[in-house]
Structure 1
Amino acid sequence: MGVRGLQGFVGSTCPHICTVVNFKELAEHHRSKYPGCTPTIVVDAMCCLRYWYTPESWICGGQWREYFSALRDFVKTFTAAGIKLIFFFDGMVEQDKRDEWVKRRLKNNREISRIFHYIKSHKEQPGRNMFFIPSGLAVFTRFALKTLGQETLCSLQEADYEVASYGLQHNCLGILGEDTDYLIYDTCPYFSISELCLESLDTVMLCREKLCESLGLRVADLPLLACLLGNDIIPEGMFESFRYKCLSSYTSVKENFDKKATDFEFKLEALMRTNPEIKQEDPTNVGPEVKQQVTMVSDTEILKVARTHHVQAESYLVYNIMSSGEIECSNTLEDELDQALPSQAFIYRPIRQRVYSLLLEDCQDVTSTCPAVKEWFVYPGNPLRHPDLVRPLQMTIPGGMPSLKILWLNEEPEIQVRRLDTLLACFNLSSSREELQAVESPFQALCCLLIYLFVQPDYINPRAVQLGSLLVRGLTTLVLVNSACGFPWKTSDFMPWNVFDGKLFHQKYLQSEKGYAVEVLLEQNRSRLTKFHNLKAIVCKACMKENRRITGRAHWGSHHAGRWGRQGSSYHRTGSGYSRSSQGQPWRDQGPGSRQYEHDQWRRY
């Protein structure tokens, strides 16, 4: 329930609320006060992404090794001070906050448009004032922190609520973030990440008790204040006229105080009764402890496994699909004016549809059709008024579709083969199994993704910025499929700091545009040349099996009847949920797959 502008108000009007503190000193005091208890800071990781991302280049997909190094330094500094860190990530968007989520995504779309306009005008990366976090940063930060040995948790509800609850229940040193929620909640002390000096471990603590003294309120009154001023759940404008009336009739005369208080209570009660935008809370449905959530999957054992993987930040989107049947994907650096490359939302949708078929197999109705999944994916031309309703896509797996219990719980060695078969079927690349097995393990996942990308679009007119983001979104899709299939591949094999660097990619992209030879691109390094030619041969061989011939650079701008052309890049609204469009037709002329498609109410794919 953070209040927009509250932190600025505190800094400008009530500066005494902000106190410079040192984490080393606070930790020493905590140890002396609570012997045997390790000083612990709860970190709202979503608030810290901008602080952590310090690499110079961000426009072409991100400098992931540099970012991983920055995270390692952050963790090392606190560990050296004897402070334990607990990281929390947003695990889902609550329905009450969906409108605010949409509003922020549409605002981000406008920022992205300005970024592409700047690039076209100045031919360079914009300054830090236009910084936009690289695609997939939140997803891969979870895995990076786990790799660094940190306790990392993914929320089952509003993350800031879980952060505040954890901090209070575990007697933590404080909360590190950048959200006025932590001034509103009655929890442990709140520290600002934006004011943190990592070298000295100095930062600013914002004191809610001093805020209450300044405003003449009790700590218990702060949630009501947040509601009256507006927050992520209650729109700022809802109480605007009420606030105006209160201010216009304000007086400091003591005799009027009781009458004003009575009037305030009467007006608030009347507004709560009559305003249709305010939802009346059902006392029988105040939390998951009171009323059990209705889920898409009925198998409680497998749902419990999915929930555990979700909370421990070991999977991506799997539990959301199985529990609520609703997922979202935030903004990607995509140029809405460049129609040459489809949005990543459409390119990877067939993969997601096959994953839905795998995860929701036990919830088919009498007609043997699975329920549609609600996708809130940001892409150019999508006003996000409603989710896209996307139906599962059946797939053929050697030996038949294995159950999730087999994929997730069976420890027999031969099951690993079935896990890999299922993963390749999700990418519709079962025919490429032999080629991929010839690749050394760290490159199998990347080759799988590259083969999929090469056989999908009808044609590619590449743009370095969008291609970098497209690849990273593909890596997040690999995380989803790998976790859904029971982890046939090691997660580290497709972490971006092991396979991709946006700045290097952009340099090589520009060199290839100028016609540089492969030997020059690989800096005359023989071992790199050998590895490149081996991987290229495998990708090309797999693409040939899919009737997709990768031509020379000069032909990349022409039409190719790739898999979008053979089986249709999008699914029209039909009785069966999806249909195949005409052969060889460009993807952007095929209805819902087009960025120019008029957004229909509750579209079905």
Structure 2
Amino acid sequence: MSKLGSMYIVLDAISNGTPTHVIPKKHFHLPPGMGQLSRVIFKTVCHCEVYQSLTECDEEIAEYARNNRVFAILGQDSDYVIMDTGNTLYLSIEHLNLRNMTTRLYDRWELARSLRLHPSQLPLLATFMGNDIITAQDLRPFHLNVIRQPVYNRNINFRMLVPNIAMFVRTLPLDETQLFSILPDVAIRTLGHHSRDRDIITSLYSYKSHAIDHKREGIDMNDHWSRLVAEARYRHQINELPSMVYAIMSGLPFESATSIEDFRKNDLPTFASATQPIRERIYGILLQEKPLPESGAHLVPEWCMAGPGSLDQPNYVPAMPPVSPHPGLLALWNDGQRYLSVRWSLFVSSVSHKLDVSRVRSTVPSYLVIPTLILFNINELGCLCPWEVDAMLATASCMKYYNVTKLAALPSDPVSARGVRVANLIMRSTFILYFLLASCGYPLTLEETAPWLFFDGKLFQIKYNEAGSGYSHSRLCDNRVDVLEVFQVARSVVFYNDY
């Protein structure tokens, strides 16, 4: 909810005409979908070998670094200073200066030496400082005690706290067996009750890397569904599928966190509600071959932020089978051109049965397919004005003429608060279409449909203001004939009419 509060501060400031450079940067947030987008950028643009983790990514990164004698980890997670990464260096991405290629080095060996600890004791230090498992609030009485600070003094001096906790850790056995034998007493001292020793153990193990099985061994290859899950797992790890595919097939929930939405208003649908019908069809595609439960239907739990109280309990969403059963996930994912028409039909019809598959496939340029389909879906909800649709289509159609230098030179102001929310709804929804695209076996490639081919936030705000001011389609398209032509093709699909 704190993220939502800071988002409201930004939206209110924009609504009041505050220039963007005046709004405190602490309230800013990354654009939606950066997690999924980064894996695509590194693979398709940087041509890097990319892996996706099966568990906590820091555990797998630390294991990979240690096993492969990696030079350095570039990240922003203090766990890499605590975990055993061998001789791998930890470099701060927060302090990375791309102009002179400098950053800060955090050295776990030097940290341990300065605190007179063995590196293997750093997980104890982190545990008693407070982390995701044992909160600093739980440890507050202990913290006040070790620095001999009165209870009424709310502010804890961390310059005193760290060396004093290190001093306490030095009194504990280095041997793990001996340490675990006295943990109930340690738990009483630090957390007030001997039963909290289990939390300490959980915390310590969270800093250990657990061997991850990266092979498809131990799978019952006689069970068809098990083979499919193993295939999804493998493709997940080698970055061929977005993380949601393997998660859903493994029985995990779909999760959607807070983004740039204003739940105080009802002029736009929430991202969760706007895209639920598409998600239902995606689940139907992915779970078509999974044996049905006794209830006779697959239900997928979802945790989607849709306003206060929306995360109190999961929402169970039914998997809607395709109107025409597909030939199977292995066929969709493996068989090259053989099932290309099936992939296209499954992809487009899963957005809406009203769409003409052959028309979309034959007339809409590949880089405009994603924004065209999602605008069709959102426009069907009756929440956008036609000129708002035009603003997005003009942005998408013009993007090929805007390189990085030209985009950087565009003004950041003025910004429309509703325009920000409209852009967020559109772009978050496009990531559901990437989920669908992968599930269908990629009738279009990621390279053909990458979001930087059709969207830029500053350019969209300019087109949004121009469209709202009544600019003609030609002016919205920068008076370029070729841009106007593809704009009109996409627009005719969104409003399902001829042009």
Query: Matched residue of 1:390: which SS?
Result: strand
Query: Matched residue of 2:303: which SS?
Result: strand
Would you say the 8 A contact 2:275–2:432 is kept in 1? yes
Q: Could you give the per-residue CA deviations for residues 402-421 of structure 1, whole angstroms, max 9, x where no partner exists?
A: 3212212334x331111112
Partner of 1:212: 112
Partner of 1:56: none
- Pair 1:494–1:160, CA change in 2 (3 A): same
**Deviation (angstroms), 1:355:** 1.0
Query: Matched residue of 2:255: which SS?
Result: strand
Distance in 1 between residues matched to 2:281 and 2:232, nearest whole Å: 18
**Deviation (angstroms), 1:183:** 1.1
**Deviation (angstroms), 1:484:** 0.6
Query: RCO higher in 1 or 2 (8 Å CA, sep ≥ 6)?
Result: 1
Gaps of 5+ in 2: 150-159, 174-178, 389-417
The number of equivalent residue pairs is: 424
The residue type paired with residue 99 of structure 2 is: E
**Deviation (angstroms), 1:313:** 2.1
Residue 162 of structure 1 is aligned with which of 60, 66, 78? 60
Distance in 2 between residues matched to 1:353 and 1:303, nearest whole Å: 19
Residue 302 of structure 1 is aligned with which of 191, 203, 228? 228
Partner of 1:137: 34
Partner of 1:267: 185
Partner of 1:312: 238
Alignment of 1:114 onto 2:41 = no
Distance in 2 between residues matched to 1:298 and 1:327, nearest whole Å: 23
Query: Matched residue of 2:104: which SS?
Result: strand
Alignment of 1:363 onto 2:278 = no
Percent sequence identity over matched residues?
25
Alignment of 1:373 onto 2:315 = no
Would you say the 8 A contact 1:230–1:239 is kept in 2? yes
Gaps of 5+ in 1: 1-105, 545-549, 551-605
- Pair 1:197–1:445, CA change in 2 (3 A): closer
**Deviation (angstroms), 1:319:** 0.4
Distance in 2 between residues matched to 1:163 and 1:288, nearest whole Å: 11
TM-score when scaled to structure 2? Answer: 0.77
**Deviation (angstroms), 1:427:** 1.3
Partner of 2:199: 278
Distance in 1 between residues matched to 2:229 and 2:275, nearest whole Å: 25
Distance in 1 between residues matched to 2:255 and 2:328, nearest whole Å: 25
Q: Could you give the per-residue CA deviations for residues 371-412 of structure 1, whole angstroms, max 9, x where no partner exists?
A: x22222223224523332222123313xx343212212334x
Distance in 2 between residues matched to 1:534 and 1:512, nearest whole Å: 18
Partner of 1:438: 362
Would you say the 8 A contact 1:318–1:484 is kept in 2? yes
Distance in 2 between residues matched to 1:329 and 1:268, nearest whole Å: 38
**Deviation (angstroms), 1:341:** 0.0
Would you say the 8 A contact 1:445–1:489 is kept in 2? no
Alignment of 1:227 onto 2:127 = yes
**Deviation (angstroms), 1:239:** 2.5
TM-score when scaled to structure 1? Answer: 0.64
Distance in 2 between residues matched to 1:109 and 1:258, nearest whole Å: 38
Would you say the 8 A contact 1:182–1:190 is kept in 2? yes
Distance in 2 between residues matched to 1:444 and 1:269, nearest whole Å: 58
Alignment of 1:517 onto 2:472 = yes
Question: What does 1:100-499 correspond to in 2, within 5 Å?
Answer: 106-125=1-20, 126=23, 128-147=25-44, 148-187=46-85, 188-248=88-148, 267-270=185-188, 273-275=194-196, 278=199, 299-316=225-242, 317-361=244-288, 362-370=290-298, 372-382=299-309, 384-397=311-324, 400-411=325-336, 413-429=337-353, 431-439=355-363, 440-455=365-380, 457-460=381-384, 463-499=418-454
Distance in 1 between residues matched to 2:303 and 2:116, nearest whole Å: 42
Partner of 2:153: none
**Deviation (angstroms), 1:320:** 0.7
The residue type paired with residue 301 of structure 1 is: R
Would you say the 8 A contact 1:340–1:460 is kept in 2? no
Would you say the 8 A contact 1:334–1:343 is kept in 2? yes
Q: Could you give the per-residue CA deviations for residues 32-81 of structure 1, whole angstroms, max 9, x where no partner exists?
A: xxxxxxxxxxxxxxxxxxxxxxxxxxxxxxxxxxxxxxxxxxxxxxxxxx
**Deviation (angstroms), 1:438:** 3.0
Q: Could you give the per-residue CA deviations for residues 148-174 of structure 1, whole angstroms, max 9, x where no partner exists?
A: 211112111111111111111111111
**Deviation (angstroms), 1:318:** 0.1
Distance in 2 between residues matched to 1:321 and 1:532, nearest whole Å: 36
Partner of 1:29: none
Distance in 1 between residues matched to 2:168 and 2:382, nearest whole Å: 72
**Deviation (angstroms), 1:135:** 1.0
Query: Matched residue of 1:278: which SS?
Result: helix
- Pair 1:171–1:258, CA change in 2 (3 A): closer
Distance in 2 between residues matched to 1:235 and 1:428, nearest whole Å: 46
Q: Which moved more, 1:386-395 or 1:328-337?
A: 386-395
Distance in 2 between residues matched to 1:245 and 1:298, nearest whole Å: 58
Distance in 1 between residues matched to 2:441 and 2:246, nearest whole Å: 13
Q: Could you give the per-residue CA deviations for residues 419-439 of structure 1, whole angstroms, max 9, x where no partner exists?
A: 112112321336421321232
Would you say the 8 A contact 1:135–1:331 is kept in 2? no
Distance in 1 between residues matched to 2:304 and 2:329, nearest whole Å: 26
Query: Matched residue of 2:432: which SS?
Result: helix
Q: Could you give the per-residue CA deviations for residues 323-355 of structure 1, whole angstroms, max 9, x where no partner exists?
A: 132222232211222210011111111111111
Would you say the 8 A contact 2:229–2:246 is kept in 1? yes
- Pair 1:233–1:435, CA change in 2 (3 A): same
**Deviation (angstroms), 1:134:** 0.8
Partner of 2:495: 540
The residue type paired with residue 97 of structure 2 is: C
**Deviation (angstroms), 1:202:** 2.1
Distance in 1 between residues matched to 2:422 and 2:197, nearest whole Å: 45
**Deviation (angstroms), 1:467:** 1.2
**Deviation (angstroms), 1:298:** 6.5
Q: Could you give the per-residue CA deviations for residues 458-512 of structure 1, whole angstroms, max 9, x where no partner exists?
A: 4336621011111211221111001111111122232111111221111111112
Query: Matched residue of 1:328: which SS?
Result: strand
Distance in 2 between residues matched to 1:348 and 1:409, nearest whole Å: 27
Distance in 2 between residues matched to 1:431 and 1:511, nearest whole Å: 29
Would you say the 8 A contact 1:435–1:541 is kept in 2? no
Partner of 1:591: none
Distance in 2 between residues matched to 1:181 and 1:344, nearest whole Å: 33
Query: Matched residue of 2:495: which SS?
Result: helix
Distance in 2 between residues matched to 1:261 and 1:221, nearest whole Å: 9
Would you say the 8 A contact 1:190–1:206 is kept in 2? yes
